[in-house]
Homo-oligomer: A and B are copies of this chain.
Amino acid sequence: MAATIHDVAREASVGIGTVSRVINNSPRVKPATRERVLAVIDKLQYKPDPIARSLVSKRTNSLGVIVPFFTRPFFMELLRGVEIVSARLERELILYNVETNAQRDHYFSELPMRRKVDGLLIVSLTPGDAVSRRFQDAGLPVVLIDAYSPLFTSLVVNNVEGAYEAVKFLIEKGHRRIGFINGLIEGNFKFNQANDRLIGLHRAFGEAGLLFEPELVLTSEWSRMGGKQAALQLLSQQKRPTAIFAASDMQAVGVLEAAKELGILVPEQLSVIGFDGIEVSELLELSTIYQPVQAMGEQGAALLVELIDNPAKIPELIRFDTKLLERHTTGPALTPVTHSEEQGLPEGEASRLATRHLL
């Protein structure tokens, strides 16, 4: 059996109060007795029991993070940031992964009650009013990452601006028929992100005097497969787009796959730009709108800990800027080609080129 504070007290011939003061380095203890107690602690290998400690202190020294689809690269890189500072600040990290609305609601309703965490980081999910009130009533510190609520400190990336830049960039390259594959609003996950990116697109279109063509805008899951399906649809239209902007890198990867399957050369015949700037975008030399995901994770965790230490802190809104990363999937627009006239390149050669893998 592990030693308790009583064992130490007895062995050192002091009261448990004194031992407690020693382990919490209170100054109110005579150096001599402190030494003695410390010696016994060392001898008995005594470690205060964190559970008993939290029972009275109401603190668990751990951070909870609610994150949807945590294996997706975007969330992984964010989690990495969170982990870095939670480790540095010596907090345990409890992972609440959500894949369904039911799971989300479950955590949203359970977590405020059972005080298993000192604070909560909510990623890419926006708690509704009722839920928000529960968090507040429970006095549970909350920080939102990639989501916004006036009630909580929120870290967001400028999605509108990012999307605007992506589209403007394509327009400047001469593209006029620009497809957009937006991300699905998965049961209110990712609601703002999808919306904002659409707004940015509209703004760029408006500025350039382009009219918005509904048949060029599709919605898919935030995944490779989703992007591929959507791209297949977009690219088999009569007058297919010369450029596609995808709301996430994974979707953009799907676009690349679709293009390859159709024998369409990127970037010669089709420009593709993604959103996120995750590692695969680098591997595939995908042009993209980079967002500082890891930094957001780090700062989010840091702010949460601050908030835990000072619950009176008022919520703030922190914005992060995106950055356009021009790589090799975007190029100037050619004169638009229709299906019937695209025989310029000998069939064999085109598909051979298109089939070359190797990043």
Contact = CB atoms under 8 A, between A and B. Distances in A.
Interface string A106-124: 0000100111100000000
Interface residues of A, number: 52
- A contact face: mostly helix, strand, loop, or mixed: mixed
Interface stretch (A13-21, A79-87, A188-196, A333-341): A79-87
Interface in A29-76: 45, 47, 49-52, 54-55, 60, 62, 70-71, 76
Contact of A71 (B76, B110, B224): B76
A151 interface: no
A51 B62 contact: no
A296 to B, nearest CB: 15
Contacts of A115: 49-51
B95 A50 contact: no
A328 interface: yes
A222 to B, nearest CB: 15
Contact of A114 (B50, B138, B284, B329): B50
Given A51-B51, A92-B94, A256-B358, 5 more contacts: A71-B77, A95-B95, A260-B359, A356-B356, A357-B358
A55 to B, nearest CB: 5
A178 interface: no
Interface centre among A51, A70, A94, A283 (most CB of B within 10 A): A51
Contacts of A224: 283
Closest 7 CB pairs of A and B: A47-B113, A356-B356, A285-B357, A71-B80, A93-B95, A50-B114, A266-B358
Nearest to A294: B71
A331 to B, nearest CB: 12
B256 A359 contact: yes
A70 to B, nearest CB: 7
A357 B256 CA distance: 10
Interface in A240-263: 253, 256-257, 259-260
Contacts of A110: 47
